[in-house]
Structures are given as C-alpha cells and as structure tokens.
Structure 1
Amino acid sequence: MRIFPRATFIFFLFLPPNLWNVTHVCNFCICTQEKSCAVLCDRSNLLEIPREFPCEASSINLDKNNIKFLSERAFGTLPSLRSLSLAHNNISFITPGAFKGLPSLLELKMAHNDYIRYLHTRTFTALKRLVRLDLSDCNLFNMPDRIFLEQSSLQEFLCFENNFRRIPGAIRGMENLTRIYLERNRIEAVAYNSLQGLRNLKYLNLQENSINVIHDHAFQDGRQLEYFYLNDNLLSDLPQYSFKGLKHLKMLNLGGNLLRNVSSTWFSNLVELEVLYLDRNQLTFIEEGAFENLTSLIFLHLNSNNLTTLPLSVFQPIFFLGRLYLFRNPWECDCKMEWLKEWMQNYKLVRDVPCASPSRVAGMDLSEVVFSKSSHGLCEDLAETNVTSTFVKPTAGIVVTTENKFSSLISKLMQQELREEATNSSQGFRNVSLLDGLNNEVSPFLLLMNFFCFSFN
C-alpha cells in the first residue's frame, strides 16, 4: 500500500464525482492539498493526456510516460496552472494551440522527447506569461523565427542537446532573456546578429558545439553578461575585440579549443572577470599585456597547452591571482621563469610546473630548480640550457664544453671496443650497441659515464 504525507491524498478519493474519469486513465495520480493542488502523474504508463484536471491545479507532472500527441487545448482550461512538465515522453507532434487555456503558465518542461523534430509558429500561442521553457535533448533542427512572438516575458531558454547548426533566430530581440542554454548542439558560427537585442542576458552556454567562426561585434549587446561558456569548440582565432563591452563578465571559458596565441586585445576591458579558462588549447605564445587589465582575476587556467615560457612582462596582474594552473605544458625552466619560481615559493598559489628543458632539470618541478647566478647575483643561463658548465683547458686556453668532450670520449670508446671485437675471431660477429656497454657492469664506458656525471654536475 502506498504511503503519502499527511497533506497528500490519493487523487481519485478526493475529487468530485464529475472529475473521477481522470483516475480511470491515471490510476496512480495524486493531488496534494497544501496551499494549492499539485497533480503528480509521473511514471504512470499514460498513453495520452488525461481528459480533465482539477480546476485549481497549480502544477502538473506527467514525466516519464508514453504520451505521443498533444491536441489543441490538450489540458482544457486551467487558470491557476503555473508549472507543467512533460519530460521523458514520446511526443512527436504538438498541435498549434495545444497549450491554450493556460493563461498563468510560467514554466513548461518538454525535455527528453526524442521525436520532437518540428515546432509550429503557433505552438506556444497564448502562453504570454511563460518565464522558463525547457526543450533540451529533443531532436530539433530549427525553430520558426517568430515562434516566441507572444512570449516577451521569457527569461530562461533551455535547448541543449539538439541539432541546431545556428543559434535560433527566435531569441533575437527578447530583452527579458537572462539565461540561454545551447550547449551540445551543432552550431558552427556566431553571427554578428545571432544575439542581437539580448540586453539583459547574464548566462550564455555555447560549449561543446562546432563553432569555428565568431563575427566581429557578435556579443556587443550582451553588456550584462556574467557567465559565458565557449569551451570545447573549434575556435582557432577570435576577433580582435571579441569581448569588448562585456564589463560585467565574471567567468569566461575558452578551454578545449584550437587557439594558438592570446591577443593583447581580447580581454582588454574585462575589469570584473574573476575566472578565465584557456586550458586544453594549443597555446604557444601570449602577447605582452594580454592580462594587463584583469585586475579582478582570481583563477587563471593555462594548463594543457604548448607553452614553454611565461615572462613576467606578459603577466602583469599576477599578484592579484588566487590560483594559477600551469601543469601539462612543456616548460623551459630558464631565467625567464625565475620570477615564477619565487612567486610560487612566496605565495603558494601555483604548483605542478614540470620542466621539459633544459635536460638537466627535465622532469623536475620548477620549484626544485636551482638557477645559476653571475658574480653580480643575476640569473645566468649557461650553455646547453643550464645543463653544462664551461671550463678553460689550462694548457691551450681553449673553451670546451663538457658536452663536446663527452661526445669525443664516447666516440673514442666505441671505436676501441669495435677494434677489440674485430680481433676476437673466436666469438665471431655480433651486434654492438650502446646498450651493450651500459649493461656491462665493468665496462669502461660505464666508468666514464659515472666520472663525468660526478665531475661536471
């Protein structure tokens, strides 16, 4: 026997006789009698919309049924209905005017209906107070440009995981829209007028599309935008002043694209930006002044790129940061990175900066590198990228690097071993390799290796 809270009643026991017919279709519907009536008909194996609902119903949940068709005025007249959910059904066709008779509806959920491919211009006729519309994870390829002609109050539009190749033109000019979810579609470009007139937009999600082009001034009307997701697209470049005017932007995600450089103009006036993602790109170069005006920046993600150096001149607002992410880059730990090591030690706000070069420090973390100093106390990059020291041969006065001397001795040693094996006719011919010498415990080659490792490090 099903147990319900004190204020919840089995629907068919407390309906007036003229409304009992709904229970014959919806055997497991219940209706809460707290301040207003909430009809719960989810997971009830419904094949169609029940014929009648309580007039005072404020919300109806028809999720996870097998409803396939919505006829005109499918819900009758429900003047108090504010929320209607039809998610996870098999709806394939919505008759124009299906939602007539719902003058107070604020929220409509139709997500996860895989067979919805087309919407008529008058699908949402009469829903003049609609605030939130969820059409996520359907099979929509497009929608009529004038479909929201009467929905001027719409604030949240959720349409992720569909098949759009462009941003729906239906949302242009909708000044009350504050949140747009269009992630995981097939959008290829953001045109100059795609977001035209969205002057109160605060949240825009375009991640995981196929965007490879952004037109100049595409975001010029988004002056109230605070959270912007452009990550995991195909962007290899951006317009010179892509984000100009977005002075209220707090989070910008450009991770997972194909960007190679960071322009000094992209973020020039994002004075309120707190979080910037540039991770998982192909960055090799950051222009000087690129982060100069990011005085509010707290988190900067530069990990998983192809960066080899990070000069201080490029990184002016570093002391304002709360966290800097630099791992998974082929860092060259030379004198240009000394400032970063000191900053790491003093502020403890960055870690995991693995060195790829010079060879002596390859595999070490930048925090472990000891930089050589000149007689004046300045950082000094030595020959062979901080690996070898130079020395003067006393008898000849010739400057020789340990690398050259080491290579010469290796060559001589290999020639000597080859001569010895050529004279050893009892053993016949065999392959000679550098590894053979290394695996021999008493090899002169190994002794010389040890000698040079301890003599010149």
Structure 2
Amino acid sequence: LQGRGTFIFSVLCLLPQAVLARWACARACPPSCSCTQEKSCSVLCDRSGLAELPKEFPCEAAAINLDKNRLKFLSERAFGTLPSLKSLSLDHNNISFITPGAFKGLANLVELKMAHNEYISYLHTRTFTGLKKLVRLDLSDCNLFNIPDRIFIEQTALRELLCFQNNFRRIPGAIRGMENLTHIYLERNKIEAVAYNSLLSLGSLRYLNLQENRINVIHEQAFQDLVRLENFYLNDNLLSDLPRLAFRGLIHLKMLNLGGNQLTNVSKTWFSDLVEVEILYLDRNQLLYIEEGTFENLTSLITLHLNSNNLTTLPFPVFQPIYFLGRLYLFKNPWECDCSLEWLKDWMENYKLVRDIPCASPSSVAGLDLSEVVFTKVNGTCVDPAELNLTTASSEVASTTENRFHSLISKLLQQELREEMGNGTESRRNGTLVDSCSYLRHTCPLCLFLFTPLQM
C-alpha cells in the first residue's frame, strides 16, 4: 500500500503544473459550488441558497464568489487558511455580525466585497485583522452609522474604499492619514459637514465622491492635503456658500461638480488654483451673479455647465478669459436678451458650440431663442430690444382705425357731391351733404365720434 501511494505521488509529480492545479481545484470544490481553473482556481458559490459557509475551500483558490446567498454570521477564521486567495465577494447576503479575526488566514487577500448587506450596522476595530495586503474594500449599501477610527490600522496598502449609501453623518475618521488611498466613495450618506481634519494626510487621493449628502458647511482648510485630487463630486448637497479659498492647492483637479446645491453667487477666489480643470459643473443652483474674473485662471476648461439657474445676464468681461472653451450649457435660465448678450449671440453663430438660450425679457423678444434676436445699431452702437408699450400700441391701433373711417366717410361724401353736381344747383348740393351726414350719424355710432374732427 505504501508502494502504491509512492507510485501515485510520483505520477502526479510528472503531470504538467496546469493539469495538477486543475485537478486539485476540482478535488476540493465545496458542494453546491462550481470550481473553474482557467488562469487560476475560482470557486463560484453565488446564488446557491447557502445559509452557512462551506466547511472547506480548495487550498489553491484565488477567487471565491459567495454573492446572493443567505449568510448571516462570519466566525473567527471563517475561511480557514487560503494563501492564494486574492478576491473574496460576499455581496447581497444577510450578514449581521462579523467576529473579530474572521478573515485571518487570508494573508494575500487584495479585494474584499461586502456590499448590500443591510444588517451590517457595526464593525469591530479588529474586523479586518490579518488583511495587510488589502487594496480594495467595498462596504457600500450596508447600514453603517460609523466605523472605528483604528479599524484600518493594518491596511496600509488600501487604495480604494467604497462606503456609499450608508448612514454616516460625518466622514469616517478611520481614513485620516491613509497615504495610499486613491479613491473614496462616500456618496448617498447623511454627511452634514467637512471639518478641517476630515481629510488629513490623503496625499495620494485622486477621486473623492461626496455627492448626495447633506453637506452645508465646509471648513476653509478641509481640502488642503488633497494635492493630487483629480475628480471631485460635491453635487446635490445643501451648500449655499463656499469658503473664500475652498479649493486652494488643488492644482491637478480635472473635474469639479458643484451642481444641485443652493449657491446664489460665484466668487472669483474659488477657482483661482484650478489651472487644470477641464469640466466644471455649476448647474441646478440658484445663481444670480458670477463675479468678474471667476474663470480667468481656468485655462484648461473645456466644458462649463451653467444651466438651470437664475441667471439673467452673462457680461463679456466675466466670460472673456475662457472665450474658446468647447461646450457651454446655458439653458433653463431667465435670460434678458439685451445688448449685454450680443457678444454671446455672435459667439453662438461663429463657433456653433452653444444653443438653447431662451429669452425671458424684454417682452418684445420673450419666447425667442437668443439666436433669433436681431440687435439693431444706431451710429454703430447696439440698441436694446424695447419693451412693448401696450398703451402706446393701443393708441396707434385706435389712430389707425380713426383714419380709416375718416377716409371712408370722405369717399362717401365725395360720391354724393359728384352726383349732385350733375344737377347744377348749389342749394341742392348743400342739402344732400346735410342729409348724408345726418344719415351717417344715425346708422354709424362710431361715426359720431369721428365727426368731431371733421367739424360736421
């Protein structure tokens, strides 16, 4: 028997490494799961109705998918020792408690996904003990209100943290000082403010998403350490104002989204350092005024969104430094199409890069698109389209009507005179004139008003 075991082992050693790995992966595949060996051993247990974890996984497993099961509890060392495991997915389960040390034995795990577990409301400080090589962690759409400040003390390699759609009222203090973080997703939480120390020492951060929170206060130095930030989402919050130098130092920022807030004015100090910004969203605010010089340093700007605000004018001095940007969105504003927008019409016609600028005033052009407005010039100077004067217009109509009746009456009288002239008597002619006038007074009430100027 011992000789037979030695023979089998010798045969296995002669097999190609890929064949050996495929055999080992399939041999230890858990019931209700399937195991594949393409580039590495993958264990697929998703949608298997599992209420508990399998007792054993293939030692060679590089990826395990346990999505959409009924798992509720993760005990200590729940997965045993899997030195080859790189990716573990536990999305869409019913996990409510994770024992500290549950992931011990997964020393080389790079990605851990636990999103869409609505019963996870608490994490212990030692939840992720042993995951020293973790790069990506997804805790989105759970029920977390906070996470311990020291929970990531071992995760110095962490680069991507996804915590959107939870119940955080502040930015988790656990992320402070994580110098390797490049992406943070905190959208759709209940965050109310960004403090001066909320984002300290995040010098590698390139992507920050804080959209759809309740942020109404931002400290002036809140973003001072985000020197490599490229994409920043602050849209759909409750911001009515921003610190004077809110974005100071963000010289590598490419996209800034401030849409869907309550801003009424735009200060020229906000964007003074954003020399590499290519896309700027200021749409869906309540903007009434943009300070001259606001865009003067945005030399890389390609697209500007100003639609859905309360802007009535956009003077050329405000816009001049970015006259050659690629896209400008201005629709859904109550534009006053006077001479201050003549330059914009010319720009529309010359570059064909902006359209849909409906005029709200003056009333003579209301409802027209700016492209349809004709600006007249007197001595080379633009003259604003006039407001319609209804009183003047009515007077002009009445005057025109009166003139027409005068003409009609004159023609009638002249015809009568010509007929009577044929009879050759002056007295009969005068009698006919009086009779005609009397007839017109009785048969045409409006004529009664018109006779006075004719002195009849």
TM, length-normalised to structure 1:
0.81
Amino acid at match of 2:387: V
Conserved? CA contact 2:25–2:37, under 8 Å? no
SS of residue in 1 equivalent to 2:88: strand
Give the structure 1 partner of residue 393 of structure 2: 406
1:131 has 2:135 as partner: yes
Give the structure 2 partner of residue 399 of structure 1: none
Q: Which moved more, 1:318-327 or 1:73-82?
A: 318-327
Q: 1:310 aligns with which of 304, 311, 314?
A: 314
1:254 has 2:254 as partner: no
Distance 1:213 1:12 in 2: 59
**CA shift for structure 1 position 319:** 2.5
Conserved? CA contact 2:26–2:35, under 8 Å? no
Give the structure 2 partner of residue 290 of structure 1: 294
Conserved? CA contact 1:295–1:320, under 8 Å? no
Give the structure 1 partner of residue 158 of structure 2: 154
Give the structure 1 partner of residue 213 of structure 2: 209
**CA shift for structure 1 position 176:** 0.2
Distance 1:176 1:13 in 2: 36
Distance 2:395 2:165 in 1: 63
Deviations 1:127-165 (A, max 9, x none): 000000000000000000000000000000000000000
Amino acid at match of 2:393: F
SS of residue in 2 equivalent to 1:352: coil
Q: 2:381 aligns with which of 378, 381, 389?
A: 378
Amino acid at match of 2:374: V
Q: 1:267 aligns with which of 247, 265, 271?
A: 271
**CA shift for structure 1 position 411:** 11
Conserved? CA contact 1:216–1:239, under 8 Å? yes
**CA shift for structure 1 position 116:** 0.1
Amino acid at match of 2:88: L
Distance 2:347 2:322 in 1: 9
SS of residue in 2 equivalent to 1:316: helix
Identity of aligned residues (%): 75
1:186 has 2:173 as partner: no
Matches within 5 A, 1:7-86: 15-16=26-27, 19=28, 22-23=30-31, 27=32, 29-86=33-90
Distance 1:250 1:153 in 2: 25
TM, length-normalised to structure 2:
0.81
**CA shift for structure 1 position 13:** 10
Deviations 1:97-117 (A, max 9, x none): 000000000000000000000
**CA shift for structure 1 position 36:** 1.7
**CA shift for structure 1 position 406:** 3.5
Distance 2:398 2:250 in 1: 63
1:104 to 1:13, Cα distance in 2 relative to 1, 3 A: closer
1:186 to 1:14, Cα distance in 2 relative to 1, 3 A: closer
Task: State the superposition RMSD in angstroms.
Answer: 2.1
Amino acid at match of 1:315: F
Unaligned runs of 5+ in 2: 1-17, 400-445, 447-456
Conserved? CA contact 2:227–2:251, under 8 Å? yes
**CA shift for structure 1 position 372:** 1.8
Deviations 1:261-280 (A, max 9, x none): 00010001100000000000
Distance 2:267 2:318 in 1: 11
Amino acid at match of 1:386: A
Conserved? CA contact 1:12–1:30, under 8 Å? no
**CA shift for structure 1 position 380:** 1.6
Distance 1:247 1:149 in 2: 30
Conserved? CA contact 2:119–2:143, under 8 Å? yes
1:34 to 1:336, Cα distance in 2 relative to 1, 3 A: same
Matches within 5 A, 1:64-143: 64-143=68-147
Deviations 1:393-426 (A, max 9, x none): xxxxxxxxx54433668999xxxxxxxxxxxxxx
